[in-house]
Amino acid sequence: MAVESPQTEGLLASLKTLTATLVGVVQTRLELLSTDVAEERARLTAILVTVMVALFCLGVGTVLLTVLIVVVFWDTHRLAAIGGLTALFLIGGAGLWALAMHKLRTKPRLFDASISELAKDRDHLSSGS
């Protein structure tokens, strides 16, 4: 039976501590990533519900307003009222479409906090400290 020297036992203890520390770091980063995913999913769900309700309300209101305006101008300028409202809705729809595309292109980067923490860990480990 081989007897381990105190130096070997110290090395093994150091390796076990290092392994435990690395596992802890990985676990922390995975928990942070999981939290980022959950937050993003909740945010997107809330946005989707809000957008759907807003679109429904705006759609009903738009139809009712259009009917009202056409009825008011039915005897005098019905074609002008219909044409003007059509142009208004097309221009508004195009502007809102452009705004939505801009927001999609400029959204924050997913997992930004996790990526920055992993970069800090990498820098810390590569510097040897």
**For residue range 57-99, what is the model confidence (pLDDT) as tens digits?**
888 888 898 899 889 988 999 899 888 888 988 898 889 889 8
What angle separates helix 112-127 from helix 6-72, to the nearest 10 degrees? 160
**For residue range 88-103, what is the model confidence (pLDDT) as tens digits?**
888 988 898 898 888 8
Number of H helices, E strands in the chain: 3, 0
Q: How far apart are CA 47 and CA 52, in angstroms?
A: 9
The model's pTM: 0.48
Q: How far apart are CA 82 and CA 74, in angstroms?
A: 10
Phi then psi for 75, rounded to 5 degrees? -80, -25
